[in-house]
Chain A
Amino acid sequence: MRESISKPIQRVDGSAKISGEAKYIGDMHFENMLFAKTLRSSRVKAKIKSIIKPELPEGYFIVDKDDVPGFNRMRTVVSDHPLFAEDNVEYIGQPILLVVGPERETIYDIITHISIVYDDLEPLYTLEEAEAKSTVFTDYHYDKGEPDKAFAVAVTIIEDEYHTGYQEHVYLEPQGMAAEYRDDTMFVYGSMQCPFYAEGALTEALGWDAKRIRVIQTVTGGAFGGKEEFPSLTACQVAVAALKTKRPVTLIYDRDEDIICSTKRHPSIVRYKAALNQNNDVIALDVDVLLDAGAYNGLSPVVLQRAIFSVTGVYNYLHLKVRGRNFMTNNVPSGAYRGFGAPQTIFGTEMLMHNIALKIGVDPLDYKMRHMLRRGDPTCMGGKIRDIVKLPEIITRVTEMSDYRNKVQNNVKYKGIGASLFLHGCGFTGNGEQTIQGKIILKKSGENVILKVSSTEMGQGAETVLRKIVAYSLDLPIEKVLCEAADTGLVPDSGPTVASRTTMIVGGLLRQACLELKDRWDEAEEFEVSRSYKHPDFLNWDNDTFQGDAYPVYSWGANVAEVEIDPVTYEINVKKISAVYDVGMPIDETTLRGQMQGGIVQGVGWATIEVMTTDKGKLIQKNLTDYKVPTSMDIPKIDCEFVSNPYEFGPFGAKCAGELPFVGAPPAVVAAVSNALNVPIYSIPITPEDLMEMDSHEN
């Protein structure tokens, strides 16, 4: 018997990345390659009256809406974003056209000599304005129990409103894409999470069959959702340019350009009405979730779904009334970002519970524990919690690791401690997995096994984890298990690399295929085994009424954050985060720890220093000088442990992991800040500027 699969191995992608051998999109060179640069809207909302173009030198091209042979929209959940602007522009930074040619200096010069005559229109700048004007993209509702009756008999009703801000992904390399048209095939290369999303978008933009399109992921240094749908836009643009110019074309953004025009985490307002009984327990919740989708809806409806399906966090409220709306504003479109809507509502609900506890004079953690879900309980959508909920064990451990009980009782001003409890629904929301029908292939080739999946390595460790699942299943050394390139011409569509689904869903399919391959091992020197996703029979979901099991299973966690506030400057010093997670079973503990640490740091950033705001449709923090993410000096001590709770249908018992830590850190940190200054907090990022103001009112 082999050692536990959780025992770490060396990352399979590590040495190429450390040595510099790894080829990122910026390292790609093609013969006769042309460069492209985007001309963007400088207006928040305007009609394009005319575009005055200079005479182009030979070999230079302008590529715009008229060059798109197929549909001039980026295909995603709602295909509403034009590849190139048509009559109107709807946000600052919206792409209008590309200038393409052999010399960068000349392209730059041409761009500066194109003038666009705009007719400005009345824009919508904020979520509040959008709500007042009812510019609703998507409006969802669902109920549980009898919320109206519960509110009618409530002893106390508490109303609160929570706000969260933008967040920029700050992946290592900015967005970049290259296209080459040869052999009657469009080859598209780039930094991305989901090659088949790009392929699907290209079929519509070009009006071609997928057989004539190949999308190949280049080494991707981080994505966090920022390379989920956005690369479909640049993939189509660069392919249209390659088709027009008959030369390879590359389109690579500078960081500043990337920040201005790429998607971000949705800013949110979450309004709560909580009905309390005579014991001050929450019996009903009325929640209204508002997301700023920006100028186009894109995949925001699915973000909104996860947001409203996560509103109850780890709690069992008997009655619920939930509404969620995506609003159109003239801001840069929001999009996928680690957690995908859940961080906004989990933050709100955790802080609501925290603030109710303070109002009624109970320890917030004790108060939360009175409401926790247990095995067999219904989920907020009327599904079922089927597995053991190990929160009691998790809480016991995290409070020991942090000495929470002792510290919370001996609270001194400017020192704070706070806890969060959280979950994350594993895999795609609702019927996503059934729609995608992820497929995988395992190929035996002599002594080796080649796994063919479209799941991408983007720094999170997917390749290590998937190869490890196959190697352990077949009892092969990891070197004998190879991974085919993420190239739509070579691998089947296993679904996108999103929603913390890769280990559990794709890894699960690989594990099943391995069992077959093992049985048939001696059949031939070379053969393939494939598997497609089959939805477990016990799961029911109605996507029209939002009733049933929105997720097959959940991962769980608890964090305790400890902070110190500088009494003079109100700077927040996050000293320590204690974290315990149930992700089923760790496939590789070091890789998993990396995910947990990274998620925590990103969550701490979102909750504290990552201020990103707009003023009249214009981003104020629009470069990395003004928009700050945590550095190694800002990272707290992180103590992280796992409880084992194997999931029957996950490979080796694994559930989801990648987004879970992001969801948990912000409410813990903010609870600790609230504890340090004894003030309620309703909005993040919480900054020294805010705290100084709050504390002076307090005094």
Chain B
Amino acid sequence: MDFFVWKTSKNLQNGLRDPLQIASRPSETVWDQIVATDFFPLDVTDFGPTIKKIQAAKPDMVMSALVGAAHISFYRQWAAAGMTKQIPLASTTFGNGNEHIVTSAAEHNGIVCSYAYFEEVTSPANVDFVKKFKAKYASSTPWVTELAIMTYHGVNLWAAAVTKAGTTDRMKVIQALEGLSITGPAGKTTIDPKTHHAVLDVYVAEAQDKKFKVLESFPQQPPADTAAVCDLVKNPAENKQYVIDVKV
């Protein structure tokens, strides 16, 4: 199988690991070839030539990491060109900007996404949280995104670390954070001492009629990509930025 990769020229938001890693780890499929990767300036609204290019290459799957207002037009033009039934589309950004609220069901049904949280997760903690959240911010919350919930977990982790350390001193809080866990609407989140990344539950879901249908869940996924190259326990002074080779 092979697939196209779409990325934008904007950096991925904090907290999101590389989209390819997220998408490829939970699935059983082994991708053996990336046909092409394209980057788009954020004000591009015409995806016609790109869609023709995909039609010419006939990949088994297209992976989108498009973000921002202008790029939503890709999903519209993809559907308008009749591509939704022909090449499956996966994304690690679709939905986090409420793309599935502003596009129509015909345009987004079937797009597969992977996040550490979906509003539709049925754990009692989440059902309760979403109910309270919507009661408080009903009119301005069409959908609770992963970005919102991971921020909520992040702040709670910091608060737990401050309580544990008994101070807001930066180094002491960081030390308290190592190995610390909290449980929130997205389940248990632990800060991995080796990488300072988080151990999270990860879900794969499909866009369905302005909602997401959770297809599979992968509890407590370690940040394996970064852990393969970075060990802060062994080298506490490490400050190199690793670029993970996604083709492996």
- A and B form one complex: no
